[in-house]
Amino acid sequence: MAQSGAKGRTSEPRSRALRGALWEQSPVARFFGRYEHSLDGKGRVILPAKFRGSFEHGGYLTQMQDGCLSLWTPDEFELQMASMLERSATGRSDRNLARLWASTSFEVEVDRQGRMPIPLHLRQFAGLEGDVLVHGAIDRVELWNPANWEQKVQPEEARLTEGADD
């Protein structure tokens, strides 16, 4: 859709423009790519420059399956919280999972140099000690211990290169 600098003006027919203009639609952050960084002495990791714009107003670190950490934008974190809240109404196990997820989540801010603190309890959960693999996972950024990545995820690459379907 072509768009002029003035709000409300488009080259689309009026009926299409009324259904929702580009400036009214919130963009969805998507993350791709793989980066290798290291923790500094204060337990911080550098967030790749390509990811930083989505975290100008902070983000949320959570534990994730397979022993990695997930960094969510504030909007995606709200969606995750809503999902956890809904699941917590289905039974004790899901309530405890929601409690655990909420109690271990951590709000982060990225400093001017692109560094993000990772609290000790989350570093321990993910086994982050030195090198950190930071990669896009479509709707979030994941932080991995490289050895855990090699063990838990890398074997799937062989399936992709071999063309296996399952």
49-85 tens-digit pLDDT: 999 999 999 999 999 988 999 999 999 999 998 998 8
Query: Do residues 101 and 84 lie in contact, with contact meaning Cβ atoms separated by under 8 Å?
Result: yes
How far are the Cα atoms of 63, 76, 107, 154 from residue 122, in angstroms, in the given order?
A: 7, 19, 12, 22
pTM exceeds 0.95, yes or no: no
**For 134, which DSSP code?**
E
82-141 tens-digit pLDDT: 998 898 888 899 899 899 999 999 999 999 999 999 999 999 999 999 999 999 999 999
Res 82: pLDDT:
92
Note the helical H segments in 12-165: 14-18, 49-52, 74-88, 92-104, 120-126, 146-152, 155-162
Look up residue 10 and give its two tokens: 């488009």
Query: Which of 21-25, 70-74, 127-131, 150-154 is least confident?
Result: 21-25
pLDDT confidence bin for 161, thresholds 50/70/90? confident
Res 162: pLDDT:
79
The helix/strand/coil state of 145 is coil
Res 27: pLDDT:
62
Angle at 133 between CA 128 and CA 34, to 5 degrees: 165
Is residue 28's pLDDT more than 80?
no
Higher pLDDT, 67 or 158: 67
Res 165: pLDDT:
58
CB count within 10 Å of CB 87 equals 15
d(CA 117, CA 39): 9
29-162: CATH homologous superfamily? Transcriptional regulator MraZ domain (3.40.1550.20)
How large is the average pLDDT for residues 22-38?
74
DSSP calls for 3-36? B-SSTT-BSS-HHHHHT--GGGSPPPP-B--EEE
Q: Per-domain residue ranges for the chain?
A: 29-162
Query: Do residues 132 and 148 lie in contact, with contact meaning Cβ atoms separated by under 8 Å?
Result: no
